[in-house]
Structure 1
């Protein structure tokens, strides 16, 4: 495809089995051409059906697709359109695989982990004329749209929380002569709920098997380092990942700080009681994910022309924050054990609860205390009594 025959609005097919890799490819492509008409599928048979129904200007397909694999798709495409741009993605970097694919003339053969800069450049070459850029205006709100109706619609499709960490700086700081230093990367991003949730979700996706991953260190070690880096950098490409409204930023700062304080207290309490401090930290750093995701959707509302003030923000958080968090944790398929631990933060009514659940519940109660409130009442609470933690222990946790 040359500059002469570039369509006004290109239609692109992405066929990728892993949901997080699929989302990453989508974000990279939309960052190049935000106006692209995009079809996304998770298996080769669906991709083959779409290819029979529509005419595409570019295809990105994973060789390892279930059903009809990407190489078979490429073979089928080449029988009909020899010049159609087709980027073949694969985890196979051996010479035999390359020799098998090259006779079918893929436009590019990219191996995982993907080089994001190389992929972006390829897409720019294929989808933009030289010197061209595409700007997409934010669509206005539909006439008569109310904020509750808008938030209800967005709950099941929202992209999660805004970023707390500058991901480009975090990755750059973690790159050394021998590649990505996972411990350095963990130190850079461990306070960010969005990054933590995405990496844990990705490490539990269909491409990874074994014991459920419930913490950021486990996720970083289960994912290929390059995949972790790409997922983190891909988050920066998403819409409204950095809040612009000062009022929303102020709310986000409070929720981030509450998450961080809770997580720090939970880790100290868990260590004191010889429990799994990493799980407790994860549950607390994630427990405000829904509220933060809601703030990001409120930024969309504001940019679409909706009115927004401090009272509206507070009422929206009260009405929708918990529901957004529950929807995200379910849709991203965070491990049930981690979701149950997060649920212990909000309620310990009925049932049998673990000592870790008591720890995270107590940690969040501690984080909610103002600097002028003492720990005496908290030390006498049911949670503290069940943990056999008194005022001296709570005082030591707060001062550590």
Structure 2
């Protein structure tokens, strides 16, 4: 899962990013509404964490414009504006939830998970392919009910391959899925990530194989036992 955070406080961006990474998700943390717009236009996100007090534009204005443009991703507002009328304004503008500052990171992660569970059009609660199960909320991967230990980047790669199981996933989509802004991956890095994940899956009785489609990308294929 890839999350976009738009928050002008540098320290809070750092703390929230750490919490999101520890939960096993990827995050792009930006400081202005304009940067947020550009990010949403260039990458695919599963959730937006949005501060209202942005330096270049009020967060409510940004949210309203995104909803007018039919952006359907869940939005969780993070703000020091705790008055009930301001919460109502945020929800009416198109937010799905509201978390007042200061907040506990545990509550933040719990609210993110709740939003993901309530957004079946964006994220399925569990991906299944052959003997693999990927519980998206907890980021747990299991094979025949036994957990498969994977690094966060490997989970991001596997999630993409499982979502399109049996279909070719282009290298460009993989680069977008496993990278964050400021951390773009080279072609060699993607190949190494695929190689590591392939070896870990081959060590499991998962009944799957990652195949290389030369010049195009990769495919997760079900194989006979």
When normalised by structure 2's length, the TM-score is 0.50
Specify the alignment match of 2:181 in structure 1. Answer: none
Q: Per-residue CA shift, 1:104-160, capped at 9, x if unaligned?
A: 231211111113222111122345736543454389xxxxxxxxxxxxxxxxxxxxx
Which runs of no fewer than 5 residues in structure 2 stay unpaired? 118-124, 127-134, 141-148, 154-225
Specify the alignment match of 1:29 in structure 2. Answer: 20
Match of 2:47 among 44, 58, 72: 58
Distance 1:17-1:87 versus aligned 2 partners, 3 A rule: same
Point out the structure with the larger helix share: 1
Which runs of no fewer than 5 residues in structure 1 stay unpaired? 1-9, 140-400
Specify the alignment match of 2:68 in structure 1. Answer: 79
Distance (whole Å) between structure 1 residues aligned to residue 112 and residue 152 of structure 2: 23
> Where in structure 2 are the equivalents of 1:201-350 lying within 5 Å?
none
Match of 2:112 among 119, 123, 131: 123
Match of 2:38 among 36, 41, 49: 49
Q: What SS does structure 2 have at the residue aligned with 1:24? A: helix
Q: Alpha-carbon deviation of 1:78?
A: 1.0
Point out the structure with the larger strand share: 2
C-alpha RMSD of the superposition: 2.4
- Contact kept in structure 1, 2:5 and 2:49, CA below 8 Å: yes
Distance (whole Å) between structure 2 residues aligned to residue 137 and residue 94 of structure 1: 41
Q: Per-residue CA shift, 1:50-73, capped at 9, x if unaligned?
A: 222223211111101110222122
When normalised by structure 1's length, the TM-score is 0.30
Specify the alignment match of 2:215 in structure 1. Answer: none
Q: Alpha-carbon deviation of 1:21?
A: 0.4
Specify the alignment match of 1:133 in structure 2. Answer: 139
Q: What SS does structure 1 have at the residue aligned with 2:48? A: strand
Distance (whole Å) between structure 2 residues aligned to residue 115 and residue 138 of structure 1: 23
Distance (whole Å) between structure 2 residues aligned to residue 40 and residue 119 of structure 1: 15
Distance (whole Å) between structure 1 residues aligned to residue 150 and residue 13 of structure 2: 22
- Contact kept in structure 1, 2:76 and 2:98, CA below 8 Å: yes
Specify the alignment match of 1:17 in structure 2. Answer: 8
Q: What SS does structure 2 have at the residue aligned with 1:87? A: strand
Match of 2:97 among 85, 96, 108: 108
Paired positions, count: 128
Distance 1:78-1:49 versus aligned 2 partners, 3 A rule: same
